[in-house]
Structure 1
Amino acid sequence: MIKVIESRSDAVVAIEVSEKVTKKDYPDVEQAFREIADRYGKIRVLMMVGEYTGVSWDAILEDIEFNKEFYKYYDKVAVVSDRKWMKPIIKIEDYFIKADMKYFDLEQQNEAWEWITQE
């Protein structure tokens, strides 16, 4: 599941990823991304990753379309999680996504917010 959660900044989309991600999770996230892109011309994302268990095939296809639309707006992405296996994935994605991407441990959530809101 992907859901938009309360953000500490109007300029940042905060989302939580948990359990299994499906296509039906995207409309609310898409709306939040569109609002930030329209207002600021760029998108900053703070992603809290919890008990993530995987992704459905239809969500993978939706994610491709989603990223095709918003790719040009990505500015910064902070991933906050206790899932250490995500660190190398973030480094790999950093080569393909023009945004600055950074992994933070759960106890570094405040640091993640500081980083994502810095110009």
Structure 2
Amino acid sequence: MFRLLPSRDEQTIAVEIKGKPTKEDAEKMNQFAEVQFNDDQPFNIYAEIEQLDRPTLEGIMEGMKVDAKRWNQFNKFAVVSDENWISVSAKMGDILPGVTVKHFNKEEQDKAWNWIQKSA
């Protein structure tokens, strides 16, 4: 489940991710990004992740469609989580072209926001 959080930065979508991401979650994020950033404005993602279950196949496919559509808009992706496997996944994501991904532990939320707001 995705839940939008108040953002500390106008160029950043803040989201809490818990449980199992679904197709509906991906569609909700895409609609929000469309309203906030159209199809051409760059934006960041601040994601607090807790107890993430494996997504449904539908959720994965829809998420991939959203990622492909918005890839050139992604700038920074701050992943906030104490789960070790998410830290490893975030490091792997940082090799993707055009997107900077950084992992922060749960107690480093302010540090994550500072990193996102700092110019690239």
Note whether the superposition's TM-score is higher than 0.5. Answer: yes
CA contact (8 A) 1:4 1:28 kept: no
Q: TM-score under structure 2 normalisation?
A: 0.90
Aligned partners of 2:95 and 2:61: how far apart in 1? Answer: 21
1:68 aligns to what?
68
Unpaired segments ≥5 residues, structure 1: none
1:77 aligns to what?
77
Aligned partners of 2:35 and 2:99: how far apart in 1? Answer: 18
Q: Which amino acid aligns with 2:8?
A: R
Range moving further from structure 2, 103-112 or 4-13: 4-13
2:50 aligns to what?
50
Does the C-alpha gap of structure 1 residues 60 and 110 become closer, same or farther in structure 2, counting only changes over 3 Å? same
CA contact (8 A) 1:5 1:14 kept: yes
Listed as ranges, the matches of 1:19-58 within 5 Å are 19-38=19-38, 41-58=41-58
Aligned partners of 1:102 and 1:46: how far apart in 2? Answer: 10
- Same amino acid, percent of matched pairs: 24
Unpaired segments ≥5 residues, structure 2: none
- Larger fraction in strand: 1
CA contact (8 A) 1:81 1:104 kept: yes
1:109 aligns to what?
109
Runs (4 or more) in structure 1 with deviation over 3 Å come to none
Does the C-alpha gap of structure 1 residues 32 and 97 become closer, same or farther in structure 2, counting only changes over 3 Å? farther
CA contact (8 A) 1:3 1:28 kept: no
Q: Which amino acid aligns with 1:33?
A: A
CA contact (8 A) 1:4 1:32 kept: no
Range moving further from structure 2, 53-62 or 35-44: 35-44
CA contact (8 A) 1:36 1:42 kept: no
Q: TM-score under structure 1 normalisation?
A: 0.91
1:36 positional shift: 3.8
Deviation digits for residues 85-113 of structure 1 (CA, Å, limit 9, x no counterpart):
11221111111242111000000000000
For residue 111 of structure 2, give the secondary structure of its aligned residue in structure 1.
Answer: helix
